[in-house]
A and B are shown apart, each in its own frame.
Chain A
Amino acid sequence: MSQAELQSVERSTASPVLRLEGVVKRFGDHTVLDGIDLEVGRHEVVVLIGASGSGKSTLLKTINLLEQVDDGRILLSGKAGDTLDITDPRVDADRVRARIGVVFQHYNLFPHMRVLDNVTLAARQVLRTSRGDAERTGLALLDRIGLAEKAREYPDRLSGGQQQRVAIARAIATDPELLLLDEITSALDPQLVGEVLDLVRDLKAQGATIVMATHEMSFARRVADRVVYLKDGRLIEQGPPEQIFDAPLREETKAFLSRLRDPFE
């Protein structure tokens, strides 16, 4: 990367791709997200940590409009600098979802479609790219993740790690501005976790903007630009990984991390 490109990357980091302002989500009487404020800069990797039920997954779902917020708003900025309040009900939710890639814990590949069709579905059906063009892009993408020879297979012939890499390829096939990763290694055997995390590191190196929820603290430390600790739907503390993991400022964060190190404490 040239010096000029590096500078432009740093400059654009200053303008956020995503901004959450006082986001609230309730399921019945239970408040899952209790006024979340969060900014994600372009090319930034933000890692959400917290116990199960802390609101990490719900937060990702509200960003992708798979859940409706009960208060606050979410702003998404395009590459041209245009900013859109995606919680506005007049916004075309399908358009917004097409700009955001999501990868789920259980891959959720479509079992009745071949790997290549899984990867090209959004390009063909949402962006209306021709099948030929979509398949060229899709094959190049599968080649990049080392699964080109599986393009004509059905997902059930692939290992968990391979399926999750295909799911990532599917999410980035339409070149989204933002990538949401929801505990993408939680359903994988330990020896398969590595291949998926390597891919995430590649994406980061290529300048992807990522928000991910994870239980892999060692990975969070290595890949995150910023770590966000959530507890009971509240943002307790955020900062660079060195701060959160080595010198957390808040007692709650300390308690959470020490429980992780020794579950019997």
Chain B
Amino acid sequence: MTVDSNTPQARAFQPSELELGRRAFRRSRGRRSLLVSVLSTLVFAGLLALLLAGSPGWAKVQASFFDLGVAADAFPRVIKGLWLNVQVLAVSVLGVAVFGTLLAITRTLRGAVFTPLRLLAAGYTDLFRGMPLLLVLYIVGFGVPGLELTGRMPAQFWGTIALILTYSAYVSEVLRAGIEAVHPSQRLAARSLGLSHAKTLRLVVMPQAIRKVTPALMNDFVSMQKDVGLISVLGAVDAVRAAQIEVASSYNFTPYVLAGVLFVLLSWPFIRVTDWVTARAQRREQIGGVV
């Protein structure tokens, strides 16, 4: 923690010789470990580069996977496809937030009246957590339109539905754990003030529950960010599909690598934020300890 040097405490505190010695030692140790880690990273990267470039087929692999010209040609279409992924992701996240919350709340309802609902929600989460997303995509994307309940919908529509169905199951389990981790005395206090069951849930339980499970929820979001690429199996022209089309016309695999790099770039900021939030939560719980 940094202390504002203008505060009286900061001016008053003069570390002793003993403490200054300890700090100097820690600094020198810190410098040494930084040096070691930089060196070992360089050595490792060098070895990897030697291994790749020295392999017999490297020239061919480089030409068919890392061709900058092909990447530049494919870029406009792949990035257009990625924009579709981003749109599907945005809608899916909203859908998952609503449906996942409803599922979680249903599973935490008490009282015999709600038993059928509770069982239904439990069965739902069991089913969709166990089923591969790819199969859900096929069944929803090719099966449900056959019911002819709606007019012709684009493939990305069914892809979004399938994503919401699967991820709501994961997210509802995370939220349920959060809801159950809020101490019952909090409910008691809220009810004793005259708050209804619904208001207690909305104003007292959910805010605390979500805070407890934020790192886990963000993790689910990150994996959803890359799973939107799977909607390509339904024929939606997203980044993966666009890359596939480019590959088919050029017989060069660089567009796949390009799409991969773009997906990583899309999720990277969020991955970093997730790690930061998780680390902060952990620090808060381990206040006062060094190990």
Residues of A within 8 A of B (CB): 64, 66, 94-95, 97-100, 102, 104, 106, 108-112, 121-122, 125-126, 170-171, 174
Contact = CB atoms under 8 A, between A and B. Distances in A.
A106 B203 CA distance: 20
Contacts of A108: 185-186, 188-189
27 contacts: A66-B192, A94-B191, A95-B194, A98-B193, A98-B194, A100-B192, A102-B189, A102-B192, A104-B185, A108-B186, A109-B189, A110-B186, A110-B189, A110-B190, A110-B208, A111-B208, A112-B207, A112-B208, A121-B190, A121-B193, A121-B195, A121-B203, A122-B193, A122-B194, A125-B203, A171-B193, A174-B194
Contacts of A97: 191-194
Interface string B169-199: 0000000000000000110111111111001
Interface string B40-63: 000000000000000000000000
B136 to A, nearest CB: 35
| Interface size range of chain B in the complex | 10 to 19
A81 B189 CA distance: 28
A122 B186 CA distance: 14
A143 to B, nearest CB: 21
B236 to A, nearest CB: 40
Interface in B186-239: 186, 188-196, 199, 203-204, 207-208, 211
Given A112-B211, A125-B195, 14 more contacts: A66-B188, A66-B192, A94-B191, A97-B191, A99-B194, A110-B186, A110-B190, A110-B208, A112-B207, A121-B190, A121-B193, A126-B195, A171-B193, A174-B193
Interface in B137-196: 185-186, 188-196
A171 B192 CA distance: 9
B193 A170 contact: yes
A170 B190 CA distance: 11
A126 B186 contact: no
A250 B152 CA distance: 85
B189 A125 contact: no
Contacts, number: 54
Contacts of A66: 188, 191-192
A170 to B, nearest CB: 7
Contacts of A94: 191, 194-196
A94 to B, nearest CB: 5
A181 to B, nearest CB: 12
A112 B186 CA distance: 11
A108 B211 CA distance: 18
A58 B61 CA distance: 75
A207 B194 CA distance: 22
Nearest to B197: A94
A264 to B, nearest CB: 34
Contacts of A95: 194
A72 B204 CA distance: 33
A114 to B, nearest CB: 13
Contacts of A109: 189
A126 B193 contact: yes
Interface-central residue, A125, A126, A170, by most chain B CB under 10 Å: A125
Nearest to B206: A112
Nearest to B192: A102
A108 B204 CA distance: 11
A124 B193 CA distance: 11
A152 B197 CA distance: 27
Contacts of A126: 193-195
A98 B207 CA distance: 22
Contacts of A104: 185, 188-189
